[in-house]
Structure formats: structure tokens, C-alpha cells
Chains A and B, each alone.
Chain A
Amino acid sequence: DTAVSQTPKYLVTQMGNDKSIKCEQNLGHDTMYWYKQDSKKFLKIMFSYNNKELIINETVPNRFSPKSPDKAHLNLHINSLELGDSAVYFCASSRDGGNEQFFGPGTRLTVL
């Protein structure tokens, strides 16, 4: 199926650990995004890549580092996890220059 996929679906870890979330899209899109959705359901843009180039970098702690090995993949690495990092992280993609973003199923991160 054509879609945006993320792994893992759930991630439970201890404070201070380092973890990664992976995202892949097979829609042929050029632009990919990472969003954080907090407990109040607000969707906050974190990063965006267009053809492997970082184009949006919101005010996010530098413990968060996105990496795009190719335009179909955008991974998110988080160092020294903190309790406040607990949230659902969504990957999304869109055509280059397009506003219609397509979302993955989300990764629920719980930091204990």
C-alpha cells in the first residue's frame, strides 16, 4: 500500500536514554515533516526536509536531530530523553510546493 509509515508504533524508555524513530513514504513526495502532538492534541511542527535539505527547523532542543538519507526517509534521533519529550510524534509528507500533507500513524513515546 502507498503510505507514510513509522516505526516503532510505541516506544517506552527511561530518562537519559537515546532513541530513534524512523519514517518512510512511498508516495513519491519530495518534502517530509516531523510533528509533535502533546496531550492537548496540538500539532507542533518540528522539522521539514525537502529533497534531503532541511527547510524548517522550529525552536526545538538540539537533543532532537533529524536525518534524511534520501527523500523517501526522514528519521528522528533524540538524545538524553526527558520526561517532557513524552508525546506522539507524527511524520508527514507532501509534494514539493504542495500544502496537502499526508501523515503516518504516529509513534507514542513515553519517557519514564
Chain B
Amino acid sequence: GQQLNQSPQSMFIQEGEDVSMNCTSSSIFNTWLWYKQDPGEGPVLLIALYKAGELTSNGRLTAQFGITRKDSFLNISASIPSDVGIYFCAGQPNAGNNRKLIWGLGTSLAVNP
């Protein structure tokens, strides 16, 4: 099935550093979503984006809906140990089944205290 290109695949950083990850697609998307999955848990929605160019923050997290509508970025500022987990992007394509999300493969984040 269709997948989003999510990078980097993994990151290992020091506590206090800022983190950036992104997601790209070959087609236009109407919606971009960012989720975090802790070990042994289900993904939790962090930020939802609905408009090209939209920039939305949730605490230390900031995400942007790319102007081309083919990409999205998630930034985490001043990372802390509890930021550890897998971050997934997901999107709703402009065409096709409007209830089916397309998912990235995840960015695994490790934070060294």
C-alpha cells in the first residue's frame, strides 16, 4: 500500500537538544497528523494540520503543513527523556478514500539524559 516517506528513521540525541523530523508524499494531502507511540501503548495524536502553510504548536512541539501540500514537519524543542518513543506522520490524500489515512514508517527517538 501507499506509504509516506518519513525521515530520519531514527535519532539519538542529548537531553535539551532540539529535534526535527519530516514527512513527504508524492501526491497532495488535505490533512497531516503527527502521532507519538510509547512502548507498549497505542499511538497518541499530537498535532493535526488542515491548511497549507499552517503552523501549530502543542507545548514544546511544533508542526507545519507544507505549502506544497506534499510535506509536513515536526519539531521538538528542548528535548526531555519522556520524549522517547516513535513518532508517526499520517495524512489524508486529496484523492481516494477519504477515511483512509496513509502512514509513515516512523521516527524512533532516543534521548540521552
Contact = CB atoms under 8 A, between A and B. Distances in A.
Interface in B26-56: 30-31, 33, 35, 37, 40-45, 48
B44 A103 contact: yes
Contacts of B48: 99-100
A83 interface: no
B43 A48 contact: no
B59 to A, nearest CB: 18
Q: What does DSSP make chain A's interface, helix, strand, loop or mixed?
A: strand
Given A48-B99, A50-B99, A103 B105 contact: no
Contacts of A105: 40-42
Of B37, B90, B99, the most chain A CB neighbours within 10 A belong to: B99
A102 B44 CA distance: 7
Contacts of B3: 42
Interface string A38-54: 00111111001010000
Contacts of B41: 105-106
B13 interface: no
Interface of B: 1, 3, 30-31, 33, 35, 37, 40-45, 48, 86, 88, 90, 92, 97-101, 103, 105-106, 108
Given A56-B100, A99-B33, A103-B35, 7 more contacts: A31-B99, A42-B103, A92-B42, A97-B99, A99-B48, A103-B44, A106-B42
21 contacts: A4-B42, A41-B108, A42-B3, A42-B105, A43-B43, A45-B1, A45-B100, A45-B101, A55-B97, A55-B99, A97-B98, A99-B31, A99-B92, A100-B48, A101-B33, A101-B45, A101-B90, A101-B101, A104-B42, A105-B40, A105-B41
